[in-house]
Amino acid sequence: MDRPPRPSPLAPSPAPAPQAREFEFTARDFEEVRRLIHQHAGISLSDAKTDMVYSRLARRLRAVGARSFQDYLGRLKAGDDAEWEAFVNALTTNLTAFFREAHHFTILKDFLKTRRERPITIWSSASSTGEEPYSIAMAAVEAFGDFGNTPVKVLASDLDTNVLRRAQEGVYPVDRLGKLAEAQQRRFFLKGTGNREGQVRVRPELGAMVSYFRLNLLDAVWSIKGPVDAIFCRNVMIYFDKPTQYKILQKMKPLLKPDGLLFLGHSEALYHASDLFRLRGQTVYVHAESQGARGDGREARGRG
């Protein structure tokens, strides 16, 4: 009896069948999500974010008992404020770390030593879970020598209420301190014991330097009052389209002191807002009209 031919060992294996989704998620659903999050929070979602949007919002559908995305989106459009907050929180990315882009903190320390007016105020405009504002506070203490001599207050805002709560708690897994020297860890953090073993908490003196509050950069009126000495707005602009970026920068400009600094993320550039801010170097910006600013348009375009 003839045997069927064996498959060649070099033949490609058949691709696994795609896993069925729990909820139908159509192109129309994605477009509606994209429109709503842009309208409410200014965030621009590319087509590449379809799977991410489904994954994050499917949890919200389960949580509220929605039967479909249209059912869930209808709840938002009906004005469910609590769910609007959960919707925005679900689609907000909060990647952060202590002393991320470390060169900025070296620049900050040198800058702080030149300030004459007291107190010195720094705004972290996308504070996430607190690593950035606490890093700013730590850099300030290191610049002035100790807590008692540090005339710096840090204002820390974010759109996401969940991360603000975690930031205010100031509790982190100990491995999040990997970039900090042992001396810094001892100086600024308390190690947990018992059921808190493996965790650290920011010292009360450090926590007292930072004030947290919710702020949506798209809101018509901001609760923050200027002028401030420096603004950290790092890895935020990449989520907005250029017209939205420009509107936000227009509102930031009068809040920043004439000789203040604006810190952006390494992949961000303001060549489209050169009438507002000019590059000083290493993604640090100053007012366009300020003296001594190094308007290196070529570097800005290369990073955009």
| Residue 79: pLDDT over 90 | no
Catalytic positions, written as ranges: 56, 158
Q: Which residue has the tokens 């991410």?
A: 52
Farthest CA pair distance, the chain: 96
Write down the pLDDT at residue 177.
92
| Residue 52: pLDDT over 50 | yes
pLDDT in tens, 57-68: 999 999 999 999
Average pLDDT, the chain: 88
Asked which of 44-48, 94-98, 133-137, 271-275 is least confident by mean pLDDT, the reply is: 94-98
Write down the pLDDT at residue 19.
60
What is the rounded average pLDDT of the residues 253-259?
97
pLDDT in tens, 195-210: 888 899 999 999 999 9
What is the rounded average pLDDT of the residues 82-102?
83
CA dist., res. 244 & res. 292, Å (int): 28
- Burial profile 164-197: b = 16 or more Cβ within 10 angstroms, e = fewer: beebbebbbeeebbeebeeebeebbbbebeeeee
Give 185 or 162, the one with higher predicted confidence.
Answer: 185
Write down the pLDDT at residue 267.
81
CA dist., res. 30 & res. 23, Å (int): 13
| Residue 87: pLDDT over 80 | yes
Numbers of helices and strands, H then E, in the chain: 11, 10
Structural domains of the chain, ranges and CATH numbers in brackets: 27-91 (1.10.155.10), 103-303 (3.40.50.150)
Q: How far apart are the first and last CA of the chain?
A: 68
CA dist., res. 157 & res. 207, Å (int): 15
How much of the chain exceeds pLDDT 70, in percent?
A: 88
**3-state SS of 220-271?**
CCCCCCCCEEEEECCCCHHHCCHHHHHHHHHHHHHHEEEEEEEECCCCCCCH
Write down the pLDDT at residue 94.
65
Write down the pLDDT at residue 277.
97
Task: Give the pLDDT band (50/70/90) at residue 119.
Answer: very high
Write down the pLDDT at residue 223.
95
What is the rounded average pLDDT of the residues 176-180?
89
The radius of gyration computed from the CA coordinates of the chain, to the nearest angstrom, equals 23
What is the rounded average pLDDT of the residues 218-244?
92
